[in-house]
Amino acid sequence: MKLNLLCVLVFVLSLVGCGTKKQILQSASIIKPVDILGRLDTFVPAVNLTLDSPIVILKPSVDTLPLDQRFSERILTPEEKVQEQKRTGIHKGADWTSAIHYDLRKPNFVIIHHTSQNSITQTIRTFQVEHSKVSAHYVIGRDGRVVQMLNDYERAWHAGRSKWGQITDMNSMSIGIELDNNGREPFPDPQINSLLLLLDTLKTKYTIPHTNFIGHADIAPTRKDDPNVFFPWKLLAERGFGVWYDESFLIQPPFNFNPVDALKIIGYDVSNEEAAIRAFKRKFIIKEVNGILTAYDRTVLYNIYKRYY
């Protein structure tokens, strides 16, 4: 019996060896060993092999899965994505020699958000799943817990489509801070106290101007309303973070005062005037948040314009 099996094996090998040495094995594909364990993220697309190819693990060509599901690309880690981005920043047509004087981006704004979620755990999870495509540098819980999720020098994805002054890429110039808040509730004292301490550190470390502490609604007035009307902008301004009006010195602006121009000079995108006015009133007027400037609203706007800009 053993002799018969040996003869059959020799016969089969002689058939495979017939023809040219470059004969193609049409039914083989390269896979990594972990493919056997069912790791879909490690498949490598099939390739044709020749008899003088290196030793490979063979996978039968018959597969019960649809063709578009047989292989899936491995998802790159954030670190690998950064390395790939750096690689594409090298111009192949130029000689390379490294300079020694450079650094990373320097944040010059702080953008404050509320999470519109129900817990800090939920927000952290949101910033760690692949499909969300959103992140922030810091998350502050209702109890004052501060969680840092990105290095200050890295570019978070928190601002989205936005504009402040002439800047249309706020992510590249800012630090994003998310406050655990469902969007309809006040901000607890421990949370605000932690925020103030963090803002003081950031302002000192990066010499961020006091006028550059703003909200998400300021830079995206047509899309966002955070932080909500309960956020204490007046308190922040008193501590040197952001602007506020002098309530004891409100006067009617001159007849030639243009409120839309004032909003634009402050930084608002006035391509949608009603949305810009609504964002301004949500922050400074708080009541009657709409797209119409009353006489009182104009005095507040004029005071801020003259005081800071």
Q: Are 136 and 127 in contact (CB under 8 A)?
A: yes
Angle at 229 between CA 227 and CA 235, to 5 degrees: 80
Question: Residues 6 or more apart from 58 whose CB is under 8 A from it?
Answer: 28, 29
Residue in 307, 305, 308, 275 with CA at minimum distance from that of residue 292: 275
Side-chain-side CA neighbours of 280 within 13 Å: the count stands at 31
The rounded distance, in Å, linking the Cα atoms of 137 and 148 is 6
Cβ neighbors of 14 (< 8 A, separation 6 or more) are: none
Closest CA to 152 of 215, 103, 190: 103
Q: In the annotation, is 178 catalytic?
A: yes
Which candidate in 178, 185, 247, 274 is catalytic? 178
Quote the CA–CA distance of 4 and 2 in Å, as a whole number: 5
Active site residues per annotation:
178
